[in-house]
Structure formats: structure tokens, C-alpha cells
Amino acid sequence: MKSDALQEEPSPLAKLFDAVEKVVIYEGKIPSDPAIWEIHIAGKILRIEAENLTSPHTFQKRYLKEFHSSAPRLKSDQWDTFVNLMGEDAEIVPAKEESEYVYYANRIIGEISQLPETEDKEEAVSRQILLKHEGCLCLVSGKIEEIVRENGFKIAPNRLSSTMTDLGYKAQGTKTIRCEGRRPSFWWFDPSKIAEFRGDSE
């Protein structure tokens, strides 16, 4: 890659940008999926999530792993220029496979679909089971965190929530439900999606 914009830039930036053969950006299948940048350098590929390109830290780690030497060090404004120039010349294509986050979401809702249902709020909280409430099936947030933890999934609750929302499994965010003077937080699921994962014919 070459750019006239680099004529007056310090040599570390020019050297690094000239080493980039091409960049391919894989867009996620759903809005909350991270875009993945494949940066091709000297026959090797550095795969980095877009959100990790706000600073050079992840890039430097991947570069060191592949080339056994440090990448040219860039100042903050130089790094921004480097990323912007790569983005201008990048090929943008749809992701070939579902993301790790979609995989986690499907595994987790599969487990959720096997939980019993109740119309009793206290029972739903104490037993951590599905509550039939206002046309939804609601599950207390603590149970979601437990499922994630027990499976060893590396996904933050807010990322899981947005992924499930994008997939149409649940309402956006979480909402509380008054229960014996308390207001625990619940995830509100679409009963038809729970039925699909449960294998119900309806």
C-alpha cells in the first residue's frame, strides 16, 4: 500500500504502511457482531477486532507474535492515520461464519429453553426459572451470569444481551419486576424463540 498522504509523515508510519499488502474487513452478520480486520503483511495475516484498533496495543502484540520483532512505534495521531489509510483501501466483505458471540448466544438460549416456567414471581426468583409475565418469558439476570460462568464463555453480559437482541431472542436491555418489595433485574425473552429452541411444534 502507498499513499501520497504519507509524504510528510515520519518514516515509521511510512515504513509500516508500505509493508501492508492488503486489508480485508469482515462485517458481522448482526449489528452487534464485531468487524474483523485482516491485515496482510509479508505473507502473514494479523486478525484484529475493529474495537481493538483504537490503539496500537493489540496490533503490536500480534505483530510481535508473527514476526518475532516489534512493529515500528507510532504516536497516537500517527496510529489514527495508519488505521484510517488502511480502512480507505480495505476490501469489505460479509463474515463467512457466525461470530463467537452468536455461538455463545445460541448455546445459552438453548439452556434457558430447558428451564421450567412459572407465573409466581417469588418462585421465579428463588428457583431461577422462567417467569411468564406480560407476554414474555423472563429470567432473573443472576441465572444468565451463572450459565455463562459455568460454561466458561468469554462474553460480557452487555455483549450477550445486545447479541441476543439482534438475533430477536429478547427485548433490548433488562427490566426490573417488583417482587415482594424487591425489584430484581430480568431478561425478557420472546416465548416463540424459547419454543423454537425447546423443539415445540407450535
Burial class of residue 12, CB neighbours in 10 A (0-12, 13-18, 19+): middle
Q: So where are the chain's domains?
A: 4-94, 100-198
Positive or negative torsion for Cα 23, 84, 57, 31: negative
Looking at residue 52, its pLDDT comes to 94
Least confident of 2-11, 98-107, 156-165, 180-189: 2-11
Looking at residue 99, its pLDDT comes to 86
Q: Which CATH number fits domain 100-198: 1.25.40, 3.30.230, 1.10.3470, 1.10.10?
A: 1.10.10
Q: What percentage of the chain carries pLDDT values higher than 90?
A: 79
Least confident of 82-86, 125-129, 137-141, 197-201: 197-201
Residue 9: all three cell numbers together:
509523515
Residue 78: all three cell numbers together:
500517527
Q: How do 91-94 and 117-118 pair as beta strands?
A: unpaired
Confidence of residue 202 (pLDDT cuts 50, 70, 90): very low
Residue 133: all three cell numbers together:
409475565
